[in-house]
Structure 1
């Protein structure tokens, strides 16, 4: 359906793609992955409107091919009085009204020929999107997403997650040849994320989905396209199999690298010996032997294995603390209530200690962000912050903490850095360097903006971190780096998150929003609750075994024990087959 052949494209300050090639074919559900800022959204723009871009290479597409699109930044129009059914069914209803209007006109017209032509054209358009069954199709989609109860609700009354799901439904029901979705999972709670998974599985057409969500990646796709370091890698299979393939490649490359290093060290010894001999023996044959050995060493250096998809540089996220506190209460919430048109939270009570790492879990629209923002502002009578606490806040509304008109450099001068050199040295750890420091915030990807927020939080040296959806838009490598930083942090964290993996890998316990109040739940109980609801009975145990084997393989590779690693890889392969 789509074939990209040796495509190259650059912005003035950045080369994005260099001779990339891939295909999208019938029935493929493809995950499009890559680090933040690697050019995924730009490549999507090129696929959707190639005439806007000057690129080298070929883009082959059926001229009749239709493309549907769900943006990562779609906003809810609160002025709309449209119901959910009317919103999803808009293209069907519009065509039905057009057909009815043509029929009415035909009753009185003397020139019926052009009207018959318009009538047939409208009928064909309606048939192309399944018009005869459009009402039952909408009901099927609403039932898949467990949103049938919202059928007659106003669009303006939906939560952000619910609105995202009905956008997905609307595009799917239009039946485009290819449906492209750019991070449709951002900010979805776990129930809505599971609904999105079901919608993806129910879709029969070609899907290209930009996502960093590990739950969707592990359960929804049969093809992976990976964009990294200006190159593309295609993999026909599931994400879990792709990661296994990368691990095998990493092991092979590391074994080759160790052998090459040993060869180079032997060659170095020979070169050094020849140089020593050359100092007291000027025989021409000795000089030629030395030059030959040096050239051989240069060739060894030149052919060192390069693997852009195996060893991807993670940002070095680190949350330092100026003022470590001993076992003390840092945040107290007592009898907290909040609401707007209706009560969201009522009589909420909890306390956070100085080293607690806690996730607030709840459905979209239940008041989590409002609570976190009230704690940050510290102007609510029901909230008390310890006097020795310094708080840093990461907002899911990126414009709240970053000024779009600022350059990256200006943003960090505003944050208290003294010189541009100091900023450059600091942000190098986060993957920002060179000319990128002069880019305006508004030109960055969603992932890059969130990474900058994390850099600002880290620079604050605060001992209490309030993180609202910190993994949103972050690529999987940065998510893992964030998990490591959270694990090492010596202060307290209160985090709103719908990312299951970040919660279970980094938190001590969770605060569950239930019936407008909050109750504490241990991490094992939360993990079991999620697995009982959404996975097979033995999935949790098998996934834990998989993680254990992966850690053993990592240790074996660190110790260059390749025989042990190969045996463990066979064990890992069996677990992956089961999963």
Structure 2
């Protein structure tokens, strides 16, 4: 279907790929992963329009390959007066109307042969996309996405998440040879995410999907492409198996690296002794012995095991506050209501203590972001913030907190940093190399922009954080780093999220929006609800045990205890098999 061989490509400010190669076969569902800013979206752009880019290497596509594409930032057209059915079936309806028009024209035309040829071409195109059965196919996919009741709804009435699913259904129904999607999961609520999983798994054709969503990664893919450090790793199998393979490779390489280091240290000690002897006694054989040892050391350095590809840098996200408040009520919301065309929230009441970490959850379009913005603005009669609380805000609309026309350097000067060196040192913890410090923020990836938001947020040293979808666009390593930072943060957090991994790993309790109001839910009940809807009965327990064993392996590797790490990896493999039953 698709073959890329020794492809290299660079931007003016950095190299992206060096001689990367991979193939995509018919029917493969491939997850495309890698750290933020590694060039995943750019590679998709190259595949979509190779003539536009000057790259080295070759890109071969199946002849006449038709590509369906769902972009990362697709916008809902609120002015388009068209139903969901008409939007999805646009190509079918167009061909159907053409066939009807040709038949009508044939009744009065004398040029029957030309019309017959045109009729046959249109009919072939109609049959190629299963035109006779297109309404049943649309219904089947709307059912899979739990959107069958939206069939006759106007497109303009959909939420952003619902529209994303409709776009995906449309892309699938046109029967492309290859479907490419760039982070289709971003901002989807729990139900819509499950619908996306069902749509992906129902599709029989080839798919290439950029995603960092751990739920989709664990349940949808049979091939992994991992782009990292300008190199690409190709793996045929599930994401869980791929991660286990990476861990085994890491153990092996780290053991070899430890042995190499030990040999280098022993040889260095011997060289130093020989240098002392050669200085005191200039016999030629001692000089030859020293030279021989130095050459051995040089050979050892050359063959030394380098940091493995699997040793990916996890950013050092640090959420800090200079003003850690005493335990008290940080935020109180009394009889809060909000409405636009319809009432979204009505008579909402809740409070958050100064060290609470709380998630707000609910379907797309239920008023979560509006509530968070009004808390940040703090000019609503129903919202009361403790006078000792300083609030900082991360927006899912990154342009609200970042200036796209600024360079990274300018953005942090605006945030109060005094010197260029101070900025370089600070943002290096968040994965930003020195050479891109003068890059425009508008040219960064979505994940890089979210990392910049987190860096600015932390530099404010506020003691209450309002986070609106903070894990969106972040790669899985950054998501884990953010979870660690949230756990270590000493202030309070109110976080909108559809990432139930982050909620389960970090939050104290949940505020759930249902029937236009908010009720408090314990983490135990939340976990039970999520796993009842999305997982088998024992999945949570097995996954928690898996995470515990992975932590033990990580500690064993830090101590260079490779015997223990190998024994634990066998235990981990047994747990992984249980997850795949």
The TM-score bracket by the shorter chain reads over 0.9
- Is residue 116 from structure 1 mapped to residue 116 from structure 2 by the alignment? yes
Superposition deviation, residue 63 in structure 1: 2.6
Q: Distance in 2 between matches of 1:555 and 1:456?
A: 31
CA distance in 1, matches of 2:197, 2:26: 19
- Report Cα offsets for 1:163-209 as digits up to 9, x if no partner: 00000000000110000000000000011000000000000100000
Shift of 1:111: 1.0
Show the 5 A alignment for 1:428-439: 428-439=428-439
Alignment of 1:218-367 (within 5 A): 218-367=218-367
Partner of 1:370: 370
Match of 1:130 in 2: 130
Alpha-carbon distance in 1 for matches of 2:281, 2:47: 66
Aligned alpha-carbon RMSD (Å): 1.0
Shift of residue 48, structure 1, vs aligned partner? 0.9
Distance 2:521 2:445 in 1: 35
Q: Corresponding residue for 1:442? A: 442
Aligned to 1:522: 522
Give structure 2 stretches of 5+ with no counterpart.
none
Shift of 1:307: 4.7
Report SS of the residue matched to 2:107.
helix
- Cα distance in 2 between the residues matched to 1:412 and 1:98: 57
Q: Do the aligned partners of 1:228 and 1:308 also contact (CA within 8 Å) in 2?
A: no
Write the distance in 2 (CA, Å) between the matches of 1:113 and 1:410: 68
CA distance in 2, matches of 1:382, 1:47: 51
Q: Do 1:229 and 1:308's aligned partners in 2 also have CA atoms closer than 8 Å? A: no
Aligned-partner Cα distance in 1 for 2:65–2:517: 50
SS in 1 for 2:461: coil
Q: CA deviation at 1:308?
A: 4.9
C-alpha separation in 1, matches of 2:33 and 2:418? 36
Contact 2:257–2:306 (Cα < 8 Å) also in 1: no
Question: Which has the higher mean CA deviation after the structures are superposed, 550-559 or 440-449?
Answer: 550-559
| Distance in 2 between residues matched to 1:307 and 1:27, nearest whole Å | 35
Give the equivalent residue in structure 1 for 2:508.
508
1:316-371 C-alpha deviation (Å, 9 max, x unpaired): 11011011101111111010000100000111111111110000010111110010
SS of equivalent residue, structure 1 residue 372: helix
Contact 2:260 2:305 survives alignment (8 Å): no
Q: Note the C-alpha offset of 1:315.
A: 1.2
Counterpart residue number, 1:3: 3
**Counterpart in the other structure of 1:41:** 41
Match of 1:18 in 2: 18
Deviation at 1:405, TM superposition (A): 1.1
What secondary structure, in the 3-state scheme, does the structure 2 residue paired with 1:108 have? coil
The 1-side partners of 2:215 and 2:24 are apart by: 23
* Matches of 2:415 and 2:466, distance apart in 1: 17
Could you list the per-position Cα deviations for residues 183-236 of structure 1 after superposition, in whole angstroms to 9, with x for gaps in the alignment? 000000011000000000000100000000000001100000000111110000
Shift of 1:302: 2.3
- C-alpha displacement of 1:435: 2.7
Quote the Cα distance in structure 2 between the aligned partners of 1:398 and 1:231. 29
Cα shift readout 1:47-92 (whole Å, capped 9, x = no counterpart): 1111111111111112311111000100000101111111111111
**Are the counterparts in 2 of residues 361 and 510 from structure 1 also a CA contact under 8 Å?**
yes
Verify: 1:179 aligned to 2:179, yes or no: yes
The whole-number CA distance in structure 2 between the counterparts of 1:360 and 1:46 is 38
Deviation at 1:419, TM superposition (A): 2.0
> What does residue 67 of structure 2 align with?
67
Cα distance in 2, alignment partners of residues 74 and 305 from structure 1:
44
1: CA distance, partners of 2:188 / 2:544: 25
Distance 2:295 2:364 in 1: 63
Could you list the per-position Cα deviations for residues 215-273 of structure 1 after superposition, in whole angstroms to 9, with x for gaps in the alignment? 00011000000001111100000000000001100111111111111111111111111
Alignment of 1:54-93 (within 5 A): 54-93=54-93
Deviates more, 1:158-167 or 1:547-556: 547-556
Q: How many residue pairs align between the two structures?
A: 579
Query: Tell me, what secondary structure is at the counterpart of 1:533?
Result: helix
Determine the C-alpha separation between the residues in 2 that align with 1:76 and 1:11.
Answer: 31
- The Cα shift of 1:7 comes to 0.6
Secondary structure at the residue paired with 1:278?
helix
1:189 equivalent to 2:185? Answer no
CA distance in 1, matches of 2:304, 2:346: 62
Query: Is 2:13–2:435's contact at 8 Å kept on the other side of the alignment?
Result: yes
Partner of 1:381, secondary structure, is coil
In structure 1, the gaps of 5 or more residues are none
1:408 paired with 2:408, answer: yes
The 8 Å contact of residues 356 and 508 in structure 2, kept in 1 or not, is answered as yes
After TM superposition, the score normalised by the length of structure 2 is: 0.98
* Contact preservation (8 Å) 2:31, 2:217: yes
Q: Distance in 1 between matches of 2:373 and 2:410?
A: 25
Q: How far off is 1:40 after superposition?
A: 0.3
Deviating beyond 6 angstroms after TM superposition, the runs of 4 or more aligned structure 1 residues are none
C-alpha distance in structure 2 between counterparts of 1:316 and 1:559, whole Å = 21
Task: For residues 400-455 of structure 1, give each alpha carbon's deviation from its aligned partner in whole angstroms, at most 9, with x where no partner exists.
Answer: 11111111111111111122222111111112132311111111100011110011
Partners in 1 of 2:568 and 2:232 — Cα distance? Answer: 29
SS at match of 1:438: coil
User: How far 1:559 sits from its partner (Å)?
Assistant: 2.1
Q: 2: distance between equivalents of 1:361 and 1:244?
A: 32
Give the aligned partner of residue 107 of structure 1: 107
The answer to whether the 8 A contact 1:17-1:230 is kept is yes
Aligned-pair CA distance for 1:31: 0.1
Distance in 1 separating the partners of 2:222 and 2:395: 34
